[in-house]
Structure 1
Amino acid sequence: MSTGIIGKTPTRPTSGNEHEVSKVQKECKNQLPGYAGFIAGIFSGVAKLAVGHPFDTIKVRLQTAEAGRFNGAFDCVRKTISNEGFRALYKGASPPLVGWMVMDSVMLGSLHNYRRCVKDYMYPHESKLTLTGHCIAGMLAGWTVSFVAAPIENIKARLQIQYDAKTKLYTGPIDCAAKLVQQNGIAGLYKGLFSTMIFRSNFVFWWGSYEVFTQAFKKHTQLSNPAINFWAGGLSASVFWITAYPSDVVKQYIMTDSVTSPKYQSWWSACKAVYQTKGWGGYWRGFTPSFIRSFPANAAALAAFEAVLRTFH
């Protein structure tokens, strides 16, 4: 009589193939769904905006203001609040409010899936994704999110440099978007796409260093996972801004340039203009608020992202 269905199954040696099947099934069970990163990225965007937007406003103003308008980051903060009120620090926040949610959802969601693809197709025999794999996935995620980030950052930057009624060209983000399209079609919204992709290519350093910091904290400290995410997120974002900042300045020059009568015909012409008008220091103008912002904003964002991912387990 057969005993394989009801009752105790006879003991027999387990083949190597069954071990492999069991291993694959275990990996699949522990693997997060592809949409998890996109959902977690939304929460990351909200956290990043709440903490980081005032720093970003000061950064953009310092990057693009004419010489002599501000004596530094603290002077810019003082004059902004004194002349326009505290809410001026959140000028241009409406696009990022939605924009950071969308951008971080696309960036972190695509990063999550690129990591899986790179691991499966480039490093199938490794037990985990290599550091090089993390760098490749980071760069691909940077290029992907550029197509979402360019129009959002374009509108944000133009709103942030409206100082008073004389410089006010747009009543809000919708009016800004409409006028850009009216003036130059959809290309008006995507002005600065190439410079955005150059800037976000530096995600190689962000996500590579994030993996290095994460593994170092796991190996050498007793920190909890949320604490590791917080510190690794903040430190890796600082690494990113050190490497990427000059290209961000060039990007802002292009994005705040006239749509109808542009000064800069290419990324390289804008790059040269920074040096010609402000010297080597021009590539680092506004770095202090950006660098100060990078740690708390991104530490909070990545802690939120990883916390939501853990709920999917």
Structure 2
Amino acid sequence: MCRVDEGFLGLWKGLGPNIARNAIINAAELASYDQIKQSLLGMGMKDNVGTHLAAGLGAGFFAVCIGSPVDVVKSRVMGDRDGKFKGVIDCFVKTARNEGPLAFYKGFIPNFGRLGSWNVAMFLTLEQAKKLLTPAPSH
């Protein structure tokens, strides 16, 4: 929420970290989904809903592992009402120094619940849409 004393530009506080967070998480989701799916197919699983579900959950897990540090920093920068942080790098350094590396994984379980379920829904939908839109091979 934007405070009155932050002015109009306060509406965009944390925009940079939010863009970085979304780019990192989206890249992790997309890259890991295909890799996990190919690995599962290589282990003999069929290209079906079960495989898509497992690959979607795996993609959500990797996205949270990779994205959590950026997510924590983004949230702290956006919520910094007291001016504790001079920016993203300062927040990262102070968090690591004062709380240790595990601080970057606070909220991991709820984040995985959210991103894991999102990835399952997104990739199941994608796979079903691909199946509907891909023409059957002609013989």
2:7 corresponds to which residue? Answer: 84
1:274 corresponds to which residue? Answer: none
1:197 corresponds to which residue? Answer: 112
Identify the structure with bigger relative contact order (alpha carbons < 8 Å, sequence gap 6+).
2
Shift, 1:82, TM fit: 9.2
1:291 corresponds to which residue? Answer: none
1:168 corresponds to which residue? Answer: 83
Unmatched 5+ stretches in structure 1: 1-60, 62-78, 220-313
Unmatched 5+ stretches in structure 2: 135-139
Question: Pick from 36, 40, 45: which aligns with 1:114?
Answer: 36
Q: Cα RMSD between the aligned structures?
A: 2.6
Shift, 1:121, TM fit: 1.5
User: Does the aligned pair in 2 maintain the 1:81–1:89 contact within 8 Å?
Assistant: no
Shift, 1:94, TM fit: 2.5
Q: Does 1:179 align with 2:94?
A: yes
Residue 52 of structure 2 aligns with an amino acid whose one-letter code is H
CA distance in 2, matches of 1:171, 1:147: 26
User: Does the aligned pair in 2 maintain the 1:143–1:201 contact within 8 Å?
Assistant: yes
Q: Does 1:149 align with 2:67?
A: yes
Identity of aligned residues (%): 19
Shift, 1:83, TM fit: 5.1
Q: Does 1:140 align with 2:62?
A: no
User: Does the aligned pair in 1 maintain the 2:21–2:74 contact within 8 Å?
Assistant: no
Shift, 1:109, TM fit: 0.8
Shift, 1:117, TM fit: 1.2
TM-score (norm 1): 0.38
Question: Pick from 123, 127, 133: which aligns with 1:211?
Answer: 127
CA distance in 2, matches of 1:144, 1:98: 16
Specify whether residues 108 and 81 from structure 1 end up closer, same or farther in structure 2 by C-alpha distance, changes over 3 A only.
Answer: farther
User: Does the aligned pair in 1 maintain the 2:85–2:91 contact within 8 Å?
Assistant: yes
Residue 210 of structure 1 aligns with an amino acid whose one-letter code is L
User: Does the aligned pair in 2 maintain the 1:134–1:211 contact within 8 Å?
Assistant: yes
Specify whether residues 120 and 81 from structure 1 end up closer, same or farther in structure 2 by C-alpha distance, changes over 3 A only.
Answer: farther
Larger radius of gyration: 1
CA distance in 2, matches of 1:185, 1:112: 33
Q: Which deviations, in whole Å up to 9, do the C-alpha atoms of 1:249-268 show, x marking residues without a partner? A: xxxxxxxxxxxxxxxxxxxx
Residue 98 of structure 1 aligns with an amino acid whose one-letter code is A
Q: How many equivalent pairs are there?
A: 133
Shift, 1:160, TM fit: 1.6
Query: Runs of 4 or more off by more than 4 Å in structure 1?
Result: 79-83
CA distance in 1, matches of 2:3, 2:84: 18
Shift, 1:106, TM fit: 2.0
TM-score (norm 2): 0.78
